[in-house]
Chains A and B, each alone.
Chain A
Amino acid sequence: MAKEFIKGNDAIVKAALLAGCESFYGYPITPASEIAHAAAKYFPRVGRTFLQAESEIGSIQMVYGAAAAGERTMTASSGPGMSLKQEGLSYLAGSELPCVVVDIMRGGPGLGNIAPEQSDYFQAVKGGGHGNYKLIVLAPNSAQEMCDLTIRAFELADRYRNPALILADGYIGQMMEPVEFPPPVKGLPAKPWALRGEKISDANLINSIFLDPDELESHNRHLQAKYALIAEREVMVEEYHTGDADFVLVGYGIVSRILRSVVERGRADGHRLGLLRPITLCPYPSVRVAELAGRVKGFLVCELSNGQMVEDIRLAVEGRVPVHFYGRMGGNVPTVEEIYAVVKGQLSVTATA
């Protein structure tokens, strides 16, 4: 298949079209606007819908409508826009509608800045909107994965009738790398529940209201069982040199790329470092973290945030070994040297202990 040297943001759009995405409802926001630009260029070329919505709220509600109509559909945004989309995401999850949302994270809170952060983790992984729901959250760390995980997100969204979120940072969006694009996806799943405006879909109803408390509880239990199934089946994680590691670094997105270089640096110096990179942030690879916690001496979690994902590592480790954290904020990205210095500091503490 075709290989192209391409930006992560552009790879998302081409991958979406190969995955059979029929509509993109966007609203401009840096650093996600490039995705809308590429969608505006390519979607109409192949007879698919691109519409710039009146607002972030409007765009996610259009996604709700397109998903209800049975289309593979998507939108893309960044922090401030994602906050506005939470209403729609809660309805999508409550009504069990599949869609793909891309969040190219920027610095916050408030208007923050347009530099890369990973501070939307809580919002993405823990819910964000109202109610007991979860999104499927995928975290690419290369342009190739911006392609592959976009296609995967559409598959998972359809399979579980749940919104899927691509959680990336501006760095991964801006970076160009070779991407091998797969052939167009064949055999999209049937959606007998969708609203078609035809006799066959007359009896169909898309909604999230269950006035009776028992009915709503039962709906919620159904959702929770679905999330449990997703957690059982769909966890994705990448490991690098964890086999004999006694100290494991954990990070996702651009940070995981830097940590990979830290592991190489440390190994060259004789330190048995490993890297654990969650690819699915929800479901979280907690089982694997717990396994590693049984035999390593400690973890260092690095994030472009105040320490959000580290909470999930601590929950999985359950205090068995130390879990350290190193974070940068404001759009600052740590260097290999910077993190390696932190690692060496922790290793000496661990050795002393």
Chain B
Amino acid sequence: MAKKILERPKGFYAEFERKPGDKGATHYCPGCGHGNIHKLIAEAIEDLELQDRMIMVSPVGCSVFVYYYFATGNIQVAHGRAPAVATALKRANPHAIVVCYQGDGDLAAIGGNEILQAANRGEHLTVFFVNNAIYGMTGGQLAPTSLPGMKTTTTPYGRDIHNEGPPMKMAEFLANLEGPTYIERTALWDNKAISNTRRAIRNALRCQMEGRGFSMVEILSACPSGWKVDPAHQSEWMKENMGPFFPLGITKDLREQREPWFREKIAVEDEALLAALDLALAEPKRLPSALRDPRYANPSIKLAGFGGQGILSAGAMIANAGMEQGFHTSWIPSYGPEMRGGTAYCFVCINAEPIGSPTVTHPDVLMAFNRPSLEKFAADLHPGALLMYDSTIIDVPPKRGDIEALAVPATQMAEDLGNTRMANTIMVGAYLAKSGILSLAAMEQTLPLALKRKNLIEANAKALGVGFAFAKDR
């Protein structure tokens, strides 16, 4: 590990070219801890041979320019969001070593939820959390980790725990979660502490390399500019003031217990993809139909009743069969304000031409399955329209004389079949016979597409036939 003082570890760029100006110096203030931490990480990158595998996620704050320094893949992200971005980077590149470098405002304030959730998911990430108890770059404001009584530009009279609360202890807080594997707090205030930090950084990276899960090192670090402390006394200040609030040590370590686990990406062939998407269907058969009357062509159909009567699926049956026969079809449930009032309904359009509005004010066909629906919607039918209603349930015949009404005792017929829930399908069968717009064969073929419960296909096919037979001569 012995190196010449001026030789840069391979984790660093040979020159800091991404920064304008001096290629040799960092942009950090004298005494700032970031430089030290960068060096410890860069050495670990070299020793663990991670340079070609690492993606470094730069935060917002003084370390926003982390990407100036590390000779790895680099990405800069919005304040606090590093753990969310890193989550997807890691899942897209399971082989990569993804590292978030975050400050205290970034991780503990604006990004509190992102770190909490990523840690709890046990994402295979490594987070280096630099706690210097203050916002550096934005001008020395209060951080969640600022100390009680600490004067900052937004607590000019000192942090008052009754106003701002006490400092947040993230290493302890995150250690309470099930998800993380390894969390340790270290410091930079003397050689021993720095040496411990070096070890912890490597532990955290190894944790990810070995597939053991989420790791974080919280590093207590100096910000002499923000603290308004002479760099010569910063270490002393840090140890004296931060030390008591932020005890050093491991807060969670399950590295021995957690079995290594690596996510694998798999590729799927086209055929398997189509099958998985339920898309390996046959071409439409375009079966012939025989319209019984020209006025039944291109219908807009409203089906209405109580929720639970199978209104929506009856509509879907008709629409699927329409598609099978090569028509333009649309199906839309009652939606938005139309959902008010307790009736369930849907609109189905079947048309030789492209369908404009999928709902219409004056439908050509109404299938009413309960009395409120009949009373509410029969008035909307245009003169000459077809009204079909379940006469078992609706015992009052419709009042309008200018429409064609067909009473179908669908519920009674369904009961005769042994299942009153088939009334909807019986009505559909009756509509097919009455209009002739769709063939019974097309409907039978497409039943599996409209019905979620496959064990009901046979019973529904039977009900279709019963309804069809009822209406074919009416």
Contacting B at CB under 8 A, from A158-184, are 170-171, 174-178, 181, 183-184
- In the complex the two chains form, is B281's CB within 8 Å of A2's CB? yes
Interface centre among A63, A170, A175 (most CB of B within 10 A): A175
Q: Is B156 an interface position by the 8 A CB rule?
A: no
- Of B73, B284, B316, which contacts A176 at CB under 8 A? B316
- In the complex the two chains form, is A115's CB within 8 Å of B337's CB? yes
Encode A80-121 as 1/0 by CB contact (under 8 A) with B: 000000011001000100000000000000000011100000
- In the complex the two chains form, is B52's CB within 8 Å of A199's CB? yes
Encode B254-295 as 1/0 by CB contact (under 8 A) with A: 000000000001111010111011111101100000000000
For B277, the chain A residues whose CB sits under 8 A away are 14, 17-18, 42, 45-46, 181
Q: Is A61 an interface position by the 8 A CB rule?
A: yes
- Shortest CB distance B377–A (Å): 14
- Shortest CB distance B41–A (Å): 16
- In the complex the two chains form, is A207's CB within 8 Å of B85's CB? no
Contacting B at CB under 8 A, from A121-142, are none
- Shortest CB distance B353–A (Å): 9
- In the complex the two chains form, is B73's CB within 8 Å of A196's CB? yes
Q: How far is the CA of A53 from the CA of B67 in the complex (A)?
A: 26
Q: Taking chain A's interface residues, is the majority helix, strand, or loop, or is none over half, making it mixed?
A: mixed
Q: How far is the CA of A179 from the CA of B74 in the complex (A)?
A: 41
- Shortest CB distance B118–A (Å): 8
- In the complex the two chains form, is B74's CB within 8 Å of A206's CB? yes
Q: Is A270 an interface position by the 8 A CB rule?
A: no
Encode B49-90 as 1/0 by CB contact (under 8 A) with A: 001111100100000100100011111111001001111110
- In the complex the two chains form, is B75's CB within 8 Å of A68's CB? yes
Encode A256-270 as 1/0 by CB contact (under 8 A) with B: 011111101000000
Q: Is B417 an interface position by the 8 A CB rule?
A: no
- Shortest CB distance A117–B (Å): 9
- Shortest CB distance A334–B (Å): 10
Q: Is A317 an interface position by the 8 A CB rule?
A: no
Contacting B at CB under 8 A, from A202-216, are 202, 204-209, 212
- In the complex the two chains form, is B91's CB within 8 Å of A49's CB? yes
- Of A170, A178, A209, which contacts B329 at CB under 8 A? A178
Binding-face segment, A69-77, A228-236, A279-287, A292-300: A69-77
- In the complex the two chains form, is B84's CB within 8 Å of A61's CB? yes
- In the complex the two chains form, is A197's CB within 8 Å of B53's CB? yes
- In the complex the two chains form, is A87's CB within 8 Å of B78's CB? yes
- In the complex the two chains form, is A62's CB within 8 Å of B329's CB? no
- In the complex the two chains form, is B76's CB within 8 Å of A206's CB? yes
- In the complex the two chains form, is B52's CB within 8 Å of A54's CB? no
- Of B270, B276, B281, which contacts A42 at CB under 8 A? B276
- Of A2, A87, A176, A207, which contacts B319 at CB under 8 A? A176
- In the complex the two chains form, is B281's CB within 8 Å of A198's CB? no
- In the complex the two chains form, is B332's CB within 8 Å of A46's CB? no
- In the complex the two chains form, is A5's CB within 8 Å of B323's CB? yes
For B95, the chain A residues whose CB sits under 8 A away are 197-198
Binding-face segment, B142-150, B175-183, B301-309, B357-365: B357-365
Q: How far is the CA of A336 from the CA of B361 in the complex (A)?
A: 8
CB within 8 Å for A61 and B356 given contacts A23-B91, A23-B92, A177-B330: no
- How many residues from A make CB contacts under 8 Å with B? 80
- In the complex the two chains form, is B74's CB within 8 Å of A176's CB? no
- Of B67, B268, B356, which contacts A261 at CB under 8 A? B356
- In the complex the two chains form, is B114's CB within 8 Å of A58's CB? yes
Q: Is A291 an interface position by the 8 A CB rule?
A: no
- In the complex the two chains form, is A176's CB within 8 Å of B332's CB? yes
Q: Is B98 an interface position by the 8 A CB rule?
A: yes
Q: Is A55 an interface position by the 8 A CB rule?
A: yes
- Shortest CB distance A163–B (Å): 14
CB within 8 Å for A64 and B356 given contacts A23-B88, A71-B92, A197-B53: no
- Of A1, A45, A64, A205, which contacts B85 at CB under 8 A? A64
- In the complex the two chains form, is B331's CB within 8 Å of A177's CB? yes
Q: Is A224 an interface position by the 8 A CB rule?
A: no
Q: How far is the CA of A17 from the CA of B140 in the complex (A)?
A: 48
- In the complex the two chains form, is A201's CB within 8 Å of B73's CB? yes
Contacting B at CB under 8 A, from A1-38, are 1-5, 14, 17-18, 22-23, 25
Contacting A at CB under 8 A, from B296-353, are 316, 319-320, 323, 328-333, 335-337
For A91, the chain B residues whose CB sits under 8 A away are 77-78
A-B contact pairs, 26 of them (CB 8 A): A2-B274, A2-B281, A3-B283, A5-B331, A14-B277, A17-B273, A54-B116, A57-B84, A57-B113, A58-B81, A61-B85, A64-B85, A69-B89, A69-B93, A115-B337, A171-B332, A176-B319, A176-B331, A195-B55, A195-B96, A198-B95, A207-B74, A260-B356, A332-B336, A336-B356, A336-B361
Of all A-B residue pairs in the complex, the 7 with the closest CB atoms, nearest first, are A197-B96, A65-B88, A261-B356, A115-B336, A69-B92, A207-B76, A260-B356
B: which residues have CB within 8 A of A?
Answer: 18, 20, 51-55, 58, 64, 67, 71-78, 81, 84-89, 91-93, 95-98, 113-114, 116-117, 265-268, 270, 272-274, 276-281, 283-284, 316, 319-320, 323, 328-333, 335-337, 354-361, 449-450
Can you add 12 more A-B contacts, CB < 8 Å, to A177-B331, A197-B52, A197-B98? Answer: A4-B279, A5-B331, A22-B92, A49-B91, A69-B89, A174-B333, A184-B270, A197-B55, A197-B73, A257-B356, A331-B337, A332-B336
